[in-house]
Amino acid sequence: MKPQRLCIYAQDVSNILGKSLSQSRRILACIRDAYGKKDKQYISIQEFAEYTGLEPDEVKKHCI
């Protein structure tokens, strides 16, 4: 059974939203700022889904 990932990376954001890798990094930085996280802290799939308004299950399906 494949282990479930808890966090989302810039490459995942790029694939899901169709944005460039650099734009995806900026989006993750905005999400970190919105949730009051520090620069090196991870963003969970749930937080990404809430921020973007997407369904968490759909986000998980498209993560690499």
pLDDT in tens, 6-63: 999 999 999 999 999 999 999 999 999 999 999 999 999 999 999 999 999 999 998 8
Task: Tokens for 11, please give them.
Answer: 């490459």
Torsions phi, psi for 32 (to 5 deg): -60, -45
For position 4, what pLDDT does the model report? Answer: 82
Asked whether the predicted pLDDT for residue 2 surpasses 90, the reply is no
For position 3, what pLDDT does the model report? Answer: 74
pTM value?
Answer: 0.89
For position 1, what pLDDT does the model report? Answer: 66
How many whole angstroms separate alpha carbon 36 and alpha carbon 42? 12
Widest CA span in the chain: 34
